[in-house]
Amino acid sequence: MARLPEVAAYVERVGDGAWILSVRCPFCAARHQHGGGDGDAPALGARLAHCVDGGGGSYFLIAGSVDMPRPASRAVRVARAPR
Ligand SMILES: [Zn+2]
């Protein structure tokens, strides 16, 4: 079984308690967002890249705070205020 590439996810929590995981895609370099459930901690792990049809487009999300220079265009409330 092939090892999935690990990708550090930028974790945000929206108002209803749901986690939003943003990643810089290792396949297309675009930003993708995945749901992380609504538990006490975000659900990380394997995800399918949105840009790859068929097999081979998976990666494994790990917690991280990678640079996300372009925030999502739609307003998302973050869990911790920047200041
Ligand atoms: Zn992609």
CA of 62 to the centre of ligand 1 (A): 16
Q: From the CA of 57, how far away is ligand 1's center (Å)? A: 8
Each residue of 26-64: pLDDT tens digit?
999 999 999 999 999 999 999 999 898 766 789 999 988
Please give the structure tokens belonging to residue 23: 């990643």
Residue 23 CA to ligand 1 center (angstroms) comes to: 9
Residue 23 lies in a domain: yes
Q: If pLDDT is split at 50, 70 and 90, which confidence band does 68 have?
A: low
Residue 78 to residue 53: CA distance in whole angstroms: 31
Domain boundaries, position 22: 6-64
Residue 51 lies in a domain: yes
- For residue 76, being part of any structural domain is answered with no
Measure 54 CA to ligand 1 centroid, in angstroms: 13
In a domain, 26, yes or no: yes
pTM of the model: 0.71
Tally of structural domains, the chain = 1
39 within a domain of the structure (yes/no): yes
Answer whether residue 74 shows pLDDT above 70.
Answer: no
Please report whether residue 25 resides in a domain. yes
More confident residue, 8 or 69: 8
Tokens of residue 74, six digits: 């739609």
For residue 22, what are the CA distances in angstroms to 2, 10, 16, 18? Answer: 23, 5, 17, 13
